[in-house]
Structure 1
Amino acid sequence: MKKPLFGLAIVAFTISACTGDTADFKSTTLGARVYPLEGGIFEVVPPIGSTASDYWCAASDYARRQLGASWETPIYINRGMAPGEASGRRSTVLFTLNPVVSEVPHIPVRRLGAFHVGDSMTVQAGENQCKIFPRWF
């Protein structure tokens, strides 16, 4: 009886060790994971199949609930879409509340999915990107 239980324990340990995400994250209200990094930077990992708006929504939620940012506080993109530093996921974006020099000139029309370094949005504008209904509505 001990051998099957020992085998199950080894399998469970192996599977838990192979997962890409570490446990050091905060969940947002709509299910994204946010990993705090050094220097006030945080990595946003929304659920698979998310849109660009979901990244801003998660960054806003984290900034407001975990960092205590006000609605007028700007959130900046520190690094555009790339593999995660903490999560290991392929599609993550790094945000910060600290001003970042923009890599492209400011234009009045913003493309939400571009994720250029230095692009910013207030916490309130990010919150406005949140979808409260399931995707199939």
Structure 2
Amino acid sequence: MKALLTAAAVSVLALAGCNTSGSNGNVFLSQNSLQVLPNPARPVDFEVLKQAPNGASDYWCAAGDYVMRRLGVSPTARVYLRKPSGPAEFRSGRQSVGFTVDPSPELRQRADLLPGRLAMSMTRVGENWGAEHARFTCQTRNSMLQF
């Protein structure tokens, strides 16, 4: 019994040292297991923490999943890349990609000037996709992994 209590105490202490939340304590874990950190003051601005070996469509998947399941936006709402891949804003020492569903007039204008593309990017600020299209990349990848 004493060993069981000791093991439980060690487990509690170990978990207490884990940082499982963002600076705002409101981490969203997307269906592809990427962490999404909303801006504490403005949750429509958020970042997806980078995690190897994921690519652009994985980050768009997490963004689409967050805005539809956490924010409850319409599937046709646009998700905009507001910050290219680089240092995280809400988690020091990490890399992230920043998104928004409420772009500033400057970001919207930048988006309007971008030529259309078929591939998702983590570097073209202003790039935007429909929320459902972004989230659909989660299902595409999941179906490819099931042989």
TM-score normalised over the length of structure 2: 0.71
* Partner-residue secondary structure (3-state), 2:36: strand
Matching of residue 68 in structure 1 with residue 72 in structure 2: yes
In structure 1, distance between residues paired with 2:123 and 2:34: 17
Contact preservation (8 Å) 2:97, 2:122: no
Name the residue aligned to 1:93. Answer: 97
Q: After the TM superposition, which parts of structure 1 deviate over 6 Å for at least 4 consecutive aligned residues?
A: none
Matching of residue 112 in structure 1 with residue 120 in structure 2: yes
Q: CA 1:103 to 1:67, structure 2 compared with 1: closer, same or farther past 3 Å?
A: closer
* Partner-residue secondary structure (3-state), 1:63: helix
Contact preservation (8 Å) 1:31, 1:46: no
Which of 53, 57, 61 is residue 53 of structure 1 equivalent to? 57
5+ residue gaps, structure 1? none
What is the aligned-residue RMSD (CA, Å)? Answer: 3.1
Which of 20, 29, 52 is residue 27 of structure 1 equivalent to? 29
Which of 102, 125, 135 is residue 133 of structure 2 equivalent to? 125
Contact preservation (8 Å) 1:73, 1:122: yes
Q: Give the fraction of aligned pairs with identical amino acids, expressed as a percent.
A: 25
TM-score normalised over the length of structure 1: 0.75
5+ residue gaps, structure 2? 1-5
Structure with greater helix percent: 2
Q: CA 1:135 to 1:45, structure 2 compared with 1: closer, same or farther past 3 Å?
A: farther
Aligned residues between the structures: 131
Contact preservation (8 Å) 1:34, 1:42: yes
- AA aligned opposite 1:107: P
